Amino acid sequence: MKLWDKGQPTDQKIDQFTVGMDRTLDLLIAPYDVQASKAHAAMLAHVGLITQEESQALIQSLNHIGESIEAGEFVIEDSFEDVHSKIEFLLTQELGETGKKIHAARSRNDQVLVACQLYLKAELEAIKTEALALFELLMDLAEQHKNTLMPGYTHLQVAMPSSFGLWFSAYAEGLVDDLYLAHAAYKTTDQNPLGSAAGYGSSFPIDREMTTRELGFSKLKYNVVAAQMGRGKTEKAVGYALASLGGTLGRLAMDICLYMGQDFGFISFPDQLTTGSSIMPHKKNPDVFELIRGKSALLQALPNTLTLLTNNLPSGYHREYQLLKEVLFPAIANLKSCLDMMRFGLKDIQISTQITDQPKYDYLFSVDTLNELVLQGMPFRDAYKSLGTDIAQGNYVPKRDINHTHIGSIGAPGFEQIKAKMQRASDWTNN
């Protein structure tokens, strides 16, 4: 069944190519198509296009379809083009002429728009929940290991003393920035496109404010052309949010892979969280974190892929928009699995102590030793040259009893301030 079928069959090869992955991916948006159809049915009765009895019958039937989706029994067979045609078929099969009335005053264009946006809203909320759980773990680890020093690097050269407290909380605070972008994407999706029909509105006297309230959108996408042009732009906003989180996860995964190598030995994991080699019995490979690193790299390509797919398209609907689901929906699943696995692995991380006591890390303390000379009254530039001479002549004695007191430093990492910032960033109720 096709919603646009006028009795003239298309070639089967054309059907297969144009349907693509829709039957599989549309299972993800099926609950939201039901939700939007219920709101649409209520609105049609409200404006007098169908009776209240017909509306109630449609909503009751849609509830049954929703239950079958939730139970995992809903299937989109090859005889149907997509989720929209399957649901309309089921309504018509059960309700006859009443089922045929559900499509009045809407198009498959705004049908897929509203279902996708409801889906993306829900997924962004789920991603926020996963990111918050990882944030809390990172902050707990930061608190546990705040006094354990580790080397800090610039250019992969030993630079200055850091701490595991700083390292963990740095990635935690980075998640705050990611949620800022996720919130922006959420606000973009939180605009009701239903009623824009094929992108040019309808001659029916529909009530778009009503469906906005019914569906829990905070705003209406007023201009019908703008609503249709939001396809691609909305997905790209979500893509940037996913890419930002991917950047944070990928960088953390890279640090983990580096720091658990034997040349560093800063961290380790229980055997059950690592993999082995087919010929080297000593190996404990960080495969999970390498895959997170790889998947995160693919996530960071999302905005570019979505841009190339939709760039320079004129206004109105184009079939390329169908491919947005093939790019974005699997990426959402990948990000959620990466957030979950990062948290699963990090909860059992093992931290090495006394790392910086080793002589090879003496130069970590050169800046603190230099600063001590300045605090004693020597001009900074003179102190810098004096210490440089001591280092060159082998007379350098590191000052290991460091005292960092400013906010955000080893001695005052600002954990409570970071937590407060995240609390504000994760509050999406004030739009």
Q: What residue segments make up the domains of the chain, in order of their start? A: 12-104, 116-147+155-204+221-357+414-425, 359-393
Tokens representing 310 are 């939709």
Q: What is the mean pLDDT of residues 333-338?
A: 97
| pTM score of the predicted model | 0.93
- Looking at residue 17, its pLDDT comes to 67
> Binning pLDDT at 50, 70 and 90, where does residue 236 land?
very high
> Binning pLDDT at 50, 70 and 90, where does residue 4 land?
very low
Average pLDDT of every residue of the chain: 93
Q: Residue 158 phi/psi, 5° resolution?
A: -55, 130
Axis-axis angle for helices 322-346, 108-144 (nearest 10): 20
Q: What is the mean pLDDT of residues 4-14?
A: 59
Class of the CATH domain delimited by 116-147+155-204+221-357+414-425: mainly alpha
Correct CATH for 12-104 of 3.40.50.720, 1.10.150.20, 1.10.275.10, 3.50.50.60: 1.10.275.10
- Is 274's pLDDT higher than 80? no
Q: Tokens 């969280």 map to which residue?
A: 273
Neighbouring CB atoms inside 10 A of 209's CB total: 12
CA distance 35 to 215: 7
CA contacts within 13 A on the Cβ side of 213: 5
Q: Which residues pair with 219 in a beta bridge?
A: 191
